[in-house]
Chains A and B, each alone.
Chain A
Amino acid sequence: MFQKICLALLIVLVTSSAQAQLVPYYGKNNVKYDTFDWKTYKTAHFEIFFYPQSEKHLQRVASMAESAYDKISADLQHDIEFKIPLIFFKTQSEFEQVNYLQVSEGILGVAEPVYNRMAFAIDQPSDKLQLLIMHELTHVFEFSMLFGGMISPVLKQSPPLWVMEGFAEYTTGVWDAADMMIVRDAVMTERLPFLSVKEDLIAPGGVELGRAPYTVGHAAFQFMRDKYGDAAVRQFWFYLKKATLLGTEDVIYSALGVKEETFNEQFAEYLRQLFKDYRDRQSPVDYGKEVGVPPKYQQVFSQTPSPDGKEFLVMTANREDYEFDILKIDATGKVLDNLTGGFSNSYDYLTTDSYSFEGRNLSWSANGQRIAFFARTGKRRSLIVLDAQRGNRLKKIKLKIDNAGSPALSPDGKSVLITGLLNGQPDLYEIDVDTESIKNLTDNILYEKTPMWSPDGKWIFYTSRIRSRDQIMKMDVSNPSNVEQLTFSEYDSVSPYYDQATDSLFYSADKNGVFNLYRLDLKSGDKIQYTDVIGGNFSPVTLQIDGKSRIAFTSFFKGQYRFFLMDLPTPVAMIPKDTETSEGDTKTTSQQLAASFGIKDAQGNASTDSDFRPTKQLAIDQGKIADKKFRVLIAGRPSVITGVSGDSFAVASGIVLQDILGDQEFRFFISRIRGFQSYNVGYLDLRHRYQYLSDFIFNDDFFFAPLPSSIASNPQVLSSDAIVRSRTWGGRIISQYPLSRLYRAEFSAGIFDLSEEFDDPFIQDLYKQYLQRTGQDDVLASGGYLPLGVALVGETTRFREFGPLSGFTFRLSVDYAPPLQSSWVSRAVYEADVRKYFRVHGRSVLAMRARGFRTTGKDPVIFSFGGGQDVRGFNYREIIGTEGGIGNLEFRFPLFPNPRVPFLGQMRGKVFTDYFRASFPHSADTTFALPEHNLLFREVNHQTFAMDVEQGAGSIGFGFAVFAGGLPFNFDFSRVYGQGYILQPGDPLDFSNPQVKKFTDGLKFDFSIAYDF
């Protein structure tokens, strides 16, 4: 939560020049697919932000929010004195477009501590949405109890995640079976992490923690209440507030009177007693055999067998690539193929259903020919259909359905059942793979999940969430309105799988709070329980291998979802038919449900919004709905960014005033590079897909300029003094239109007053005299300036914490300044920057970059570069020219990936070669005061070497980068080479002599703080 805020604050600084030096990437686009016409509505404790498309849910959300407030406020005996900003989105894909923070799939809601904004998507079952609202609202109460209106900069110590998230879960008063499973597994298999208020969870043996801060934290507060009482929980928050502000309090000792070690031991013993009845229960290893995936993969979230049962597709997390992969494996776990190996630009990432235990993210058609899964492409997900044998893609169907999931290929592979939301309504759909036509099969308010075809294609089995429980349904394909509810339990039944041999449904259900495997005999109606585990078993699929029935399933065991195979075990229990049935409970249409639950809308008609009733029902007064007004907030602390390259130091700072939704910003920036100071005041509009920044700038910058030889030869002039001060002031508009997440077009236009002259008055005088004497044109530009620019940017690069790993980047741009008047600056500038990154192995990268630039017109731009991560072995901006190019080739590799030294991150090594050419083109019609030869002076064997950079020069070398405080500190050593003339002492430079290629003397050392290109 806090990290996301910090990240968002960093992102607003992208236009800072110092930032550009430090982080030289163009970045992917956070595309605003939708423009929201925000409205507000105030309730007793909330100011709710919504938009017309979500307005129909306002009453429901407002009722849930006020219901949540009443409960939490009463439980904590605490009130919030301001109206809490509550921002809700109709769907997750719309939530991800929020501007004041970064949201990705999997983040269902966020509350932040500075302005106490809580935001979430509502596209989930209402009972779960109510819990989500309570969770996020609890964070606001936490912030209030801890900070009491003060803003986080005064904090000495941030509470750990298990405290903040655990308490938010605890306050809901509800244990989700999947959450309890995580705690139970941790206790029974001795993976309970150590709880400390001073740091985040520490798991024994470095076990992956995943959701443990939420679940174990929840259990910790429950333990605190059960052992020490409700007052102790409040005492805990009282002392936590002191610790947060002063940083000195031992919270657990002060609140509970025991040391942290004792608290942990008591907590462990409490949980052991809580779960003592589970001691004798089974684990999947008692009856199954784990089909393990190689160590580079972690967990199996989904599995589906081939029709012959000999191969399996599994969806698993690739720990090296930080993404999901779909593997084809055999029954021993041997990887036969990785269907999604490497990085793909045809989709962003593979997606899973909202809840891991549903586990239906893959489908393999019964005829064995097709495989289907979902991947994120742009705003929503696309259905990907592969040829099962060749692995090549047959179809990528972009859908207008949100949260599409649970694909189920029909037996002939020609159509796919999916679940998802259209216009905010959850339903079950059938997609024709060839025609891509979509048919809604349910059209009701219930949440359908995990559909499955019968082998003859006549029936569909799936689950519907009815009265906050998932029940198994059966649909007649020829008449989709013919639906039969098969289970009527007071617990969830999920992921049904039809087994033709027994005419049964195998599924997972959390009867008594633990997900186990069951079979529903469709003939008798009896249910048979097959497992009784300490963790949870999910997604059963029956197989016939060599005439023998087996079951493939996933199991949460020892902290991970794992894939198991087993023979059909001896039943544990039987639930006879009708023992769980309530007469007349089958209500599958929206109208039936609405009538059943007595929910009415504002007009008194049966509401079809939800089958869930919050404890408090609000009526919406339409007259109080108002347009959102612009309200200025300070977007965090003023930031300071520094960069170093050789002898040049850059610093930038700024402050951003933001609208409450982050859609509009006023920005004030100041930066200073080598004593030259720039100011920038701008307005940023992020409300639409087309986004723009309009700003006024005063830019004071510098570059090295070529000196005419008669000035350069003046003994009082040093080439290092030939610094041109470039001052620009005026206004501009920079805008961008993202074509996709990877590509965008950029446009810019401005009107400026430009002034360039040598910073040293003596040199400026000499230069003016030179121009008067020779009649040559001034190469420095001054006057009115109207640059118009267009650029195309692409960024497919996959980044890691150290920089680029794989992919490519480019930026192609043209800037043109028309000669409105003779005194106005007139020029055209063409630039290209192309980079390609090859992942050699693991975290080793071969990086290539080519940059080119060219300028024409009567006021050419003098480009300057060198130093830093640009061209090593040369001073910062030492190399100048009006046209040229740079090439870099670099191999980067890990030296000490995990040095375990305080404050120090990883150390990486590199070997590199840099090459460039820069020139001042001369032609018959140019009379610029530019030197005929572009020279840099070095020493070769202690003799002066006039390096002609027009003929090319560069460096080869090696170096390493140390990450400290999140910044890369680069130490580079290089040998410089070039082509030019060796000068004998006292001899003049004679260009008629042949040029020689030489390495210059010595090993050049460069230090810089900057990320790799």
Chain B
Amino acid sequence: MKKGFWLALLPLLFVAATYQSRFVSQNWKFDNPGIEDQLNPLSGAWEIVTPEKLNQPVLSQKVKYADYPKVLMKDRDYFDFELSTKIYLSSENQETQAGGLILRYRNLYSFYMLFLNAKDQRVTLTRASRGGMKVLKRVNHAFGPDRWYELKASCYLNHLRAFVDGQQILDVEDQVSTGGKIGLVTAGTSRVYFDGLQVKSELFEVSGN
């Protein structure tokens, strides 16, 4: 303790001095004009609609040909972050009622999808790879269609967690993908409405010596 201890701490102090961290928060509201320019649809046809029963502008996907219609936000890559949306799974389609978040999208063959499924009443985290989709965890929970839920994902290092209305539902460790784009996804012909998307992230930047 004494001299040797302080000497050992010196490198840590140096690192702290050369890197700076800052929190960023981004909030996309789907009633904003021009919001569609900030969307990068990968599959399906996404549009801002105002359903009669909701009476507010929301983001929705309308075609039936894609297995997992996806839209990414035209934004930076995120590594450690919290991503949340308000999601409404409509009972219009009896066959599938699922939608959710895209996390750490690197490319077509590397990303995560967090689904809230009202039909099967569960939350599922999947990972895409060149070999196809792999379910990392599936947790059953009592969800229902035709109501709003707040779906949130938290990604820190290899720790991925999912919250619904503030309650943690799912907790997974996976280290394949460390960062990438964020976005929204639906499943097959599900009729899903999204009301906004928020991301909070701690960004580390090199400040120089």
Which residues from chain A sit less than 8 Å from chain B, CB to CB?
188-190, 192, 194, 202, 204-206, 261, 264-265, 268, 272, 279-283, 285-286, 534-535, 557-558
Report whether B108 and A268 are in contact in the complex, using a CB–CB cutoff of 8 Å: yes
CB distance from B34 to the nearest CB of A (A): 18
CB distance from A974 to the nearest CB of B (A): 41
CB distance from B8 to the nearest CB of A (A): 39
A-B contact pairs, 18 of them (CB 8 A): A188-B43, A190-B66, A190-B108, A204-B132, A204-B133, A205-B133, A206-B132, A264-B107, A264-B108, A265-B107, A268-B107, A280-B63, A282-B65, A283-B63, A285-B65, A285-B189, A535-B65, A558-B65
Known: A189-B43, A202-B130, A206-B131. Is A194-B109 also a contact (CB below 8 A)? yes
Q: Which residues of chain B are near A286, meaning CB under 8 Å?
A: 63-64
Q: Which residues of chain A are near B110, meaning CB under 8 Å?
A: 261
- B128 beta carbon closer than 8 Å to chain A: yes
Report whether B109 and A188 are in contact in the complex, using a CB–CB cutoff of 8 Å: no
Q: Which residues of chain B are near A194, meaning CB under 8 Å?
A: 108-109, 130
Q: Which residues of chain B are near A268, meaning CB under 8 Å?
A: 42, 107-108
- B174 beta carbon closer than 8 Å to chain A: no
Chain A residue with minimal CB distance to B44?
A279
Which residues from chain B sit less than 8 Å from chain A, CB to CB?
41-45, 62-68, 70, 106-110, 128, 130-133, 189
Q: Which 9 A-B pairs have the closest CB atoms?
A: A283-B65, A205-B132, A279-B45, A265-B107, A202-B130, A190-B43, A285-B64, A280-B45, A194-B130
Report whether A261 and B106 are in contact in the complex, using a CB–CB cutoff of 8 Å: yes
Chain B residue with minimal CB distance to A533?
B65
Q: Which residues of chain A are near B68, meaning CB under 8 Å?
A: 190
CA distance A268 to B110 in the complex (A): 14
CB distance from A268 to the nearest CB of B (A): 6
Chain A residue with minimal CB distance to B108?
A268
Report whether B107 and A190 are in contact in the complex, using a CB–CB cutoff of 8 Å: no
Report whether B108 and A188 are in contact in the complex, using a CB–CB cutoff of 8 Å: no
Report whether A190 and B63 are in contact in the complex, using a CB–CB cutoff of 8 Å: no
Known: A280-B45, A285-B189. Is A188-B107 also a contact (CB below 8 A)? no
Chain B residue with minimal CB distance to A284?
B65
4 more CB-based (< 8 A) A-B contacts, given A264-B107, A286-B64: A190-B66, A279-B63, A282-B65, A283-B64
Report whether B64 and A204 are in contact in the complex, using a CB–CB cutoff of 8 Å: no
Q: Which residues of chain B are near A190, meaning CB under 8 Å?
A: 42-43, 66-68, 70, 108
CA distance A672 to B50 in the complex (A): 82
CB distance from B128 to the nearest CB of A (A): 7
CB distance from A210 to the nearest CB of B (A): 17
Report whether A261 and B107 are in contact in the complex, using a CB–CB cutoff of 8 Å: yes
CA distance A268 to B42 in the complex (A): 9
CA distance A283 to B42 in the complex (A): 17
Report whether A272 and B189 are in contact in the complex, using a CB–CB cutoff of 8 Å: no
Q: Which residues of chain A are near B42, meaning CB under 8 Å?
A: 190, 268, 272
Q: Which residues of chain A are near B66, meaning CB under 8 Å?
A: 188-190
Q: Which residues of chain B are near A285, meaning CB under 8 Å?
A: 64-65, 189
Report whether B41 and A279 are in contact in the complex, using a CB–CB cutoff of 8 Å: yes
Residue from B65, B70, B128 in contact with A204 in the complex, judged by beta carbons closer than 8 Å = B128
Q: Which residues of chain B are near A279, meaning CB under 8 Å?
A: 41, 44-45, 63
Chain A residue with minimal CB distance to B47?
A280
CA distance A699 to B70 in the complex (A): 70
CB distance from A110 to the nearest CB of B (A): 30
CA distance A558 to B189 in the complex (A): 14
Chain B residue with minimal CB distance to A557?
B65
CA distance A285 to B189 in the complex (A): 10
Report whether A192 and B43 are in contact in the complex, using a CB–CB cutoff of 8 Å: no
CA distance A578 to B189 in the complex (A): 40
CA distance A188 to B42 in the complex (A): 8
Chain A residue with minimal CB distance to B128?
A204
Q: Which residues of chain B are near A189, meaning CB under 8 Å?
A: 43, 65-67
CA distance A848 to B19 in the complex (A): 76
CB distance from B47 to the nearest CB of A (A): 9
Report whether A204 and B108 are in contact in the complex, using a CB–CB cutoff of 8 Å: yes
Chain A residue with minimal CB distance to B41?
A279
Report whether A265 and B45 are in contact in the complex, using a CB–CB cutoff of 8 Å: no
Q: Which residues of chain B are near A535, meaning CB under 8 Å?
A: 65
Q: Which residues of chain B are near A282, meaning CB under 8 Å?
A: 63, 65
Q: Which residues of chain A are near B62, meaning CB under 8 Å?
A: 280
CA distance A541 to B181 in the complex (A): 46
CB distance from B107 to the nearest CB of A (A): 4
Chain B residue with minimal CB distance to A262?
B107
Q: Which residues of chain B are near A205, meaning CB under 8 Å?
A: 131-133
Chain A residue with minimal CB distance to B188?
A285
Chain B residue with minimal CB distance to A206?
B132
CB distance from B65 to the nearest CB of A (A): 4
CA distance A755 to B19 in the complex (A): 90
Residue from A192, A280, A557 in contact with B108 in the complex, judged by beta carbons closer than 8 Å = A192
Q: Which residues of chain B are near A264, meaning CB under 8 Å?
A: 107-109
CA distance A190 to B131 in the complex (A): 14
CA distance A972 to B180 in the complex (A): 53
CA distance A268 to B189 in the complex (A): 23
CB distance from B75 to the nearest CB of A (A): 16
Q: Which residues of chain B are near A558, meaning CB under 8 Å?
A: 65, 67
User: Which of A205, A206, A268 is most buried by chain B, counting CB atoms within 10 A of its CB?
Assistant: A205
CA distance A690 to B142 in the complex (A): 76
CB distance from B64 to the nearest CB of A (A): 5
Report whether B130 and A188 are in contact in the complex, using a CB–CB cutoff of 8 Å: no
Q: Which residues of chain B are near A261, meaning CB under 8 Å?
A: 106-107, 109-110
CA distance A282 to B62 in the complex (A): 10
CA distance A843 to B80 in the complex (A): 49
CB distance from B129 to the nearest CB of A (A): 8
Chain A residue with minimal CB distance to B64?
A285
CA distance A882 to B130 in the complex (A): 61
CA distance A558 to B130 in the complex (A): 17
CA distance A534 to B68 in the complex (A): 16
Q: Which residues of chain A are near B109, meaning CB under 8 Å?
A: 194, 204, 261, 264
CA distance A286 to B64 in the complex (A): 7
CB distance from B134 to the nearest CB of A (A): 10
Q: Which residues of chain A are near B108, meaning CB under 8 Å?
A: 190, 192, 194, 204, 264-265, 268
CA distance A272 to B45 in the complex (A): 12
CA distance A188 to B66 in the complex (A): 7
Chain B residue with minimal CB distance to A261?
B107
CB distance from A67 to the nearest CB of B (A): 39
CB distance from B98 to the nearest CB of A (A): 16
CA distance A272 to B62 in the complex (A): 17
Chain A residue with minimal CB distance to B62?
A280
CA distance A265 to B77 in the complex (A): 14
CA distance A558 to B64 in the complex (A): 11
Chain B residue with minimal CB distance to A190?
B43
Q: Which residues of chain A are near B189, meaning CB under 8 Å?
A: 285
Chain B residue with minimal CB distance to A204?
B132
Q: Which residues of chain A are near B106, meaning CB under 8 Å?
A: 261
CA distance A487 to B137 in the complex (A): 57
Q: Which residues of chain A are near B45, meaning CB under 8 Å?
A: 279-280
Chain B residue with minimal CB distance to A266?
B107
Q: Which residues of chain A are near B41, meaning CB under 8 Å?
A: 272, 279
Chain B residue with minimal CB distance to A265?
B107
Q: Which residues of chain A are near B128, meaning CB under 8 Å?
A: 204
CA distance A285 to B43 in the complex (A): 16
Chain A residue with minimal CB distance to B189?
A285
Q: Which residues of chain B are near A265, meaning CB under 8 Å?
A: 107-108
Known: A190-B42, A194-B109, A279-B41. Is A534-B131 also a contact (CB below 8 A)? no
Q: Which residues of chain A are near B133, meaning CB under 8 Å?
A: 204-205
User: Which of A189, A265, A279, A535 is most buried by chain B, counting CB atoms within 10 A of its CB?
Assistant: A279
CA distance A190 to B188 in the complex (A): 12
Chain B residue with minimal CB distance to A286?
B64
CB distance from B85 to the nearest CB of A (A): 21
CA distance A557 to B66 in the complex (A): 10
CA distance A261 to B189 in the complex (A): 29
CB distance from B45 to the nearest CB of A (A): 4
Known: A190-B68, A190-B108. Is A204-B130 also a contact (CB below 8 A)? yes
CB distance from A260 to the nearest CB of B (A): 10
CA distance A281 to B130 in the complex (A): 28
